Structure 1
Amino acid sequence: MTSVLSLNAWGGRLHGPLLGYLADSPADVICLQEVTRTPGHRHGWLDYRDGDIVLPQRTNLFDEIAEALPDHDGLFMPAARGVLHDGETAVPSEFGLATFWRRSLSLLGQAQDFVHGAFLADRWGEHPRARNAHVIRVHDHEAGFTATIGQMHGLRDPAGKQDTAAKLAQAEAFAALVRNVWPGGERLVACGDLNVLPQSRTFAILGELGLRDLVIGHGFTDTRTSLYAKPGRFADYMLVNEMVSVTSFDVVAEPEVSDHRPLELSFG
């Protein structure tokens, strides 16, 4: 049996509960969105500022999570390098995805690329900002099978989560990236904060890979926590193909470690 966890880490705003939850997690593969890293800067807090919006961010969330997961290897993939603030001091910092996999798994292949926009080395960019995806292929020796697992952070459109040409293009790009790693004929999992509605054509595009969503399929109606006050409670999804035998799946309401709920999957 292999287990996968997907979570938007929210820049580590609930730092203590988040690290405790991840350290205790039995997940073999952990897919995280909204992870920060600031090489050469001390651990602690920095501020993200966008007009009237001020959000605290952990300076080096990736490093802190890596320390909490000594039995995993990990990879950080920045989507952009912009400015956070330490008081009045501007600090260049990176923001993106992180994937961790248990060291007992054999990593057989991987690919990462942008599904919307391109990397900006000196600014966050205009909305909707660049987004990336990561796919790994691992062999679980204890379970006796190979699986491909991909994650994506879907672009955030200020106009809302409805389908746009850009969102459908990112779904096509994600599917193409998966095909670069997944040979077919084996277990396939796709997950992440897709930032789309349940009726999105994204699911038809990913359905061409044989994927079906577990959040909608299992009757969950909320992937956000009490810390998210806006309407529209869907953001995060976990999809599997027919070769995945689901042992358990949950959209975790407690503990609250982000404004997103973790998605936990165990499968054979």
Structure 2
Amino acid sequence: MQIMCLNGWGGKIHEKILPYLAETAPDVLCLQEVVHSPASDKDWLTYRDGEHVLDQRANFFRDVLRVLPDHFGVFCPAAQGVLWDGDKAVPSQWGLATFVHRSLPIVGQIQSFVHKEYSPHGYGDHPRSRSAHGVRVYDHKCDRVVSITHMHGLRDLNGKMDTPERAAQARRLLDLSDGIAEEGDFVVVCGDFNVEPGSETLSILADAGLTELVTRRGFEGTRTSLYKKPGRFADYMLVNREAEVHAFDVVYDPEVSDHCPLVLRLKQS
């Protein structure tokens, strides 16, 4: 089984990310920064937050479903705000999504918030609402159950330091993972956590028996050259039984986002 975790950057470089996802077609894709604009059929809209202006694929969720026709997709919104079509405001939802290949029966799901609650009337002030989603799937090829939970960690304008909100967020993420996983499951917890190595977030997850793979296996960051700010780490993947990991990689090439895909392959037996 192959599991991929990726912050899709709102599909900003869709001409690269969509072919990449179509080619790799992971069994389970945990995708953050997903846009869904049900009132628009436009390909592109614009996000504006003061001086921060970013082109967004208006229906990134739809785009990914189209290139993964053999997958079932679940979109988990954190907020509904406004994107712009020129001077026209367009309601648009923002959150994360999980895509599961149809060969894997989904035998459990869990969805909730790790920071704040759903924001229905705008994206809100930073740090904004953040959702999380988990799936429990049965891998018939290997006669095992795999539980996968991911989140997009809150963004604090002051930086990636430890805060009480981030600690609470980590505990909520752990509660969600524990809420869906059952004894004997292979457990994966992943996402764009928006923290540095050595953070309290990772300590909380480690104390629960999870092993973090990015730094443990010597990778020097999870950001691509498209990310121009200091700090090369944001994304992490943790597992409860490292011995069952066949391979783990942080994919630096091709660059499909300002984040690197994290790719986990489990042993076949």
Q: Normalising to structure 1: TM-score of the pair? A: 0.98
Alignment of 1:23-38 (within 5 A): 23-38=22-37
Q: Which residue of 2 aligns with 1:119?
A: 118
Moved more, 180-189 or 224-233: 180-189
Alignment of 1:157-196 (within 5 A): 157-196=156-195
Q: What is the rounded CA distance, in whole Å, between the counterparts of 2:243 and 2:100 in structure 1?
A: 18
Q: Which residue of 1 aligns with 2:69?
A: 70
Q: Partner letter of residue 80 of structure 1?
A: A
The yes-or-no answer on 1:137 pairing with 2:148 is no
| Residue ranges of structure 2 left out of the alignment (5+ in a row) | none
Q: Partner letter of residue 250 of structure 1?
A: D
Q: Which residue of 2 aligns with 1:255?
A: 254
Q: What is the rounded CA distance, in whole Å, between the counterparts of 1:74 and 1:99 in structure 2?
A: 6
Q: What is the rounded CA distance, in whole Å, between the counterparts of 1:244 and 1:147 in structure 2?
A: 14
Q: Which residue of 2 aligns with 1:219?
A: 218
| Residue ranges of structure 1 left out of the alignment (5+ in a row) | none
Deviation at 1:250, TM superposition (A): 0.6
The yes-or-no answer on 1:3 pairing with 2:2 is yes
Q: Which residue of 2 aligns with 1:57?
A: 56
Q: What percent of counterpart residues are identical?
A: 52
Q: Which residue of 1 aligns with 2:264?
A: 265
Alignment of 1:11-26 (within 5 A): 11-26=10-25
Q: Partner letter of residue 122 of structure 1?
A: H
Q: Which residue of 2 aligns with 1:148?
A: 147
- From the superposition, tell whether residues 244 and 70 of structure 1 become closer, same or farther in structure 2 (CA, over 3 Å): farther
Asked whether the 8 Å contact 1:39–1:60 carries over to 2, the reply is: yes
Asked whether the 8 Å contact 1:187–1:243 carries over to 2, the reply is: no
Q: Which residue of 2 aligns with 1:242?
A: 241
Q: Which residue of 2 aligns with 1:200?
A: 199
Asked whether the 8 Å contact 1:187–1:244 carries over to 2, the reply is: no
Instruction: List 4+ stretches of structure 1 deviating above 4 A.
Output: none
Deviation at 1:209, TM superposition (A): 3.1
Paired residue total: 267
Measured against aligned partners, the alpha-carbon deviations of 1:217-246 in whole angstroms (never above 9, x if no partner) come to 000111001110111100000111126511
The yes-or-no answer on 1:85 pairing with 2:84 is yes
Asked whether the 8 Å contact 2:25–2:68 carries over to 1, the reply is: no
Q: Which residue of 2 aligns with 1:40?
A: 39
Q: What is the rounded CA distance, in whole Å, between the counterparts of 1:126 and 1:102 in structure 2?
A: 36
Asked whether the 8 Å contact 2:2–2:263 carries over to 1, the reply is: yes
Q: Normalising to structure 2: TM-score of the pair? A: 0.97
Asked whether the 8 Å contact 2:22–2:67 carries over to 1, the reply is: yes
Asked whether the 8 Å contact 1:110–1:135 carries over to 2, the reply is: yes
Q: What is the rounded CA distance, in whole Å, between the counterparts of 1:32 and 1:174 in structure 2?
A: 16
